């Protein structure tokens, strides 16, 4: 395995992305502590993201509104605008690409780039060029922190050291000493559960992890991921294999006035239709639907097997059946979060029908109806038609929520 002798990777992380984009778009928010909340109309109970000014006062992402306002009474709360963040992401990508090719988009606010030989000679200059392009063509209130290292894992760790708006360079000859100053929880891939497992084995620091052997790492992680992490921490050029699509799904925290089964069904239908639209856009069929509902103290979930399908009619019919099971089991329980997942996927070109199920004619008719509906919605850029009930409210941003693993497309907001 190759071990680079120079900086080969750049990792970029935007600072307080949601809040900084709001500040760039809305001058009245600039320079003020801003908290982004999930719902409009005063329905939210938590802050999902805070601005650089709020972080400087000790606030953090994902905290209760009461706690945040107690610590910072002057904080301005604004509802999330996922469509704005998506457009900002695309604009920022274009500016970065004008300076250095983007290799991997990790999330809405993180990405990695390959650094060529000439660029590696002056990483500070490269970082300054990226920051200047963003400031001039997008705006100075969206800032980023950048890390340079021999591989993506090390560059990501370096990137976190000098936030906000910093640049950190780890030349291969400088390592491993800078690593040892980091707490073990700052190593990507070591979450709370893994940290507990490592502690049981007497591994408490980043240096302890670094000093392990590759096979020990594999044994502790119980898979090859641990061995890959060893090589990454030791500066080797290593790339994780591409992940395969396993499911399509959407989840949502419910607004306070929808936290019951009668009100939540409309939101569940929208979540499912949005997931089904993605399924069709990416040319997949599914053979299973999973519904889960989070209520006080527990989570209820059920699934149902399906023929190999991708049309709204059969999926909504399956959802109705699962919802009736939820009514029987939960009654009037308060529901705080719901989610739907389409699983057991088949690419469209490998679809195999169940020869015992003689419904080809009906399925093809519903698929043709859905194709016409999808075409109509694409033509007008919004939901002009749907199968069955489509709620008039409480579905803002459903399907367009920004997650750590997916950046929504324009169609997700229809």
The pair of three-digit structure tokens given for residue 388, joined into one six-digit string: 């069955």
Give per-residue pLDDT as tens, 72-114: 999 999 999 988 999 999 999 999 999 999 999 999 999 999 9
pLDDT at 280 over 80: yes
Cα end-to-end span (Å), the chain: 47
Confidence of residue 397 (pLDDT cuts 50, 70, 90): low
pLDDT at 322: 97
**DSSP string for 161-198:** TSTTT-EEE--GGG-SHHHHTS-GGGSTT--HHHHHHH
Integer CA distances (angstroms), 406 to 45, 161, 250, 400, 403, in order: 24, 25, 11, 10, 5
Average pLDDT of 54-77? 91
pLDDT at 358 over 80: no
The percentage of the chain sitting over the pLDDT mark of 70, rounded to a whole number, equals 93
Query: What is the C-alpha R_g of the chain?
Result: 24
* Domains in the chain: ranges and CATH: 1-175 (3.30.70.270), 185-242 (1.10.150), 247-413 (3.30.1490.100)
* Residue partners of 221: CB distance under 8 A and separation at least 6: 194, 227, 229
How high is the mean pLDDT of the chain?
90
Average pLDDT of 294-307? 91
pLDDT at 410: 78
More confident residue, 349 or 276: 276
303 CB-side CA count, 13 A: 11
Give per-residue pLDDT as tens, 5-28: 999 999 999 999 999 999 999 999
- Cβ-based neighbour number of residue 213 at 10 Å: 10
For residue 176, is the peptide bond before it cis, meaning its omega torsion is within 30 degrees of 0? yes
pLDDT at 340: 96
Q: Are 330 and 300 in contact (CB under 8 A)?
A: yes
More confident residue, 217 or 353: 217
* Residue partners of 374: CB distance under 8 A and separation at least 6: 277, 280
**Which residues is 338 bridged to in the sheet?**
252, 293
Confidence of residue 359 (pLDDT cuts 50, 70, 90): low
CA 266 to chain centre: 24
Q: Are 202 and 172 in contact (CB under 8 A)?
A: no
pLDDT at 187: 93
- Classify 29 in phi/psi space as left (phi over 0), alpha (psi -120 to 50) or beta: alpha
Give per-residue pLDDT as tens, 316-341: 999 999 999 999 999 888 999 999 99
- Classify 405 in phi/psi space as left (phi over 0), alpha (psi -120 to 50) or beta: alpha
pLDDT at 292 over 70: yes
C-alpha span between 91 and 19 (Å, rounded): 16
Confidence of residue 404 (pLDDT cuts 50, 70, 90): low
pLDDT at 243 over 90: no
Q: Are 276 and 315 in contact (CB under 8 A)?
A: yes
* Alpha helices (H) along 26-168: 52-56, 65-71, 82-97, 117-120, 123-137, 152-159
More confident residue, 391 or 55: 55
Give per-residue pLDDT as tens, 244-270: 778 999 988 888 888 999 989 999 999
Q: Are 163 and 185 in contact (CB under 8 A)?
A: no
pLDDT at 297: 77
3-state helix, strand, coil in the chain (%, to 5): 45, 20, 35
Confidence of residue 393 (pLDDT cuts 50, 70, 90): low
pLDDT at 42: 66
Dihedrals φ, ψ of 183, to 5°?
Answer: -65, 150
C-alpha span between 311 and 367 (Å, rounded): 6
pLDDT at 353 over 90: no
pLDDT at 400 over 80: no
Cα angle 30, 167, 234; round to 5? 140
pLDDT at 355 over 70: no
Give per-residue pLDDT as tens, 174-211: 999 999 999 999 998 899 999 999 999 999 999 999 99
- Tell me which H or E stretch contains 232: helix 224-233
């Amino acid at each position: 395995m190759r071990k680079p002798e120079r900086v080969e990777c750049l990792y970029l992380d935007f600072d307080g992305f949601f809040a900084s984009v709001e500040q760039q778009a809305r001058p009245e928010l600039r320079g003020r502590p801003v908290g982004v909340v999930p719902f409009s109309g005063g329905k939210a109970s938590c802050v999902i993201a805070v601005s650089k000014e709020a972080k400087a006062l000790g606030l953090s992402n994902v905290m209760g509104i009461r706690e945040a306002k107690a610590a910072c009474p002057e904080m301005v709360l604004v509802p999330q605008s996922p469509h704005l963040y998506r457009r900002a992401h695309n604009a920022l990508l274009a500016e970065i690409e004008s300076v250095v090719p983007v290799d991997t988009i990790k999330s809405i606010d993180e990405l990695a780039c390959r650094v060529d030989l000439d660029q590696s000679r002056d990483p500070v200059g490269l970082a300054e060029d990226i920051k200047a392009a963003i400031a001039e063509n997008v705006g100075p209130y969206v800032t980023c922190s950048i890390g340079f290292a021999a591989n993506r894992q090390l560059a990501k760790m370096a990137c976190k050291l000098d936030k906000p708006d910093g640049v950190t360079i780890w030349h291969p000859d400088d390592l491993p000493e800078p690593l040892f100053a980091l707490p073990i929880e700052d190593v990507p891939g070591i979450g709370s559960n893994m940290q507990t497992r490592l502690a049981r084995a007497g591994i408490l620091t980043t240096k302890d992890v670094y000093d392990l052997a590759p096979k020990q790492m594999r044994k502790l992680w119980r898979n090859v991921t641990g061995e890959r992490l060893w090589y990454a921490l030791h500066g080797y050029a290593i790339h994780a294999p591409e992940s395969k699509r396993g499911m399509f799904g959407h989840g949502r925290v419910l607004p306070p006035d929808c936290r019951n089964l009668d009100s939540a069904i409309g939101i569940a239908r929208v979540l499912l239709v949005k997931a089904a639209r993605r399924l069709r856009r990416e040319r997949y069929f599914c053979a299973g639907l999973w519904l889960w509902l989070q209520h006080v103290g527990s989570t209820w979930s059920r699934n149902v097997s399906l023929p190999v399908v991708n049309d709204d009619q059969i999926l909504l019919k399956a959802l109705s059946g699962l919802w009736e099971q939820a009514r029987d089991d939960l009654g009037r329980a308060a529901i705080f979060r719901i989610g739907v997942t389409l699983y057991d996927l088949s690419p469209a070109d490998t679809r195999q029908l169940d020869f015992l199920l003689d419904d080809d004619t009906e399925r093809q008719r519903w698929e043709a109806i859905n194709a016409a509906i999808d075409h109509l919605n694409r033509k007008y850029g919004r939901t002009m038609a749907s199968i069955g009930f489509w709620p008039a409210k409480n579905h803002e941003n459903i399907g367009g929520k920004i997650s750590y693993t997916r950046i929504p497309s324009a169609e997700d907001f229809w």
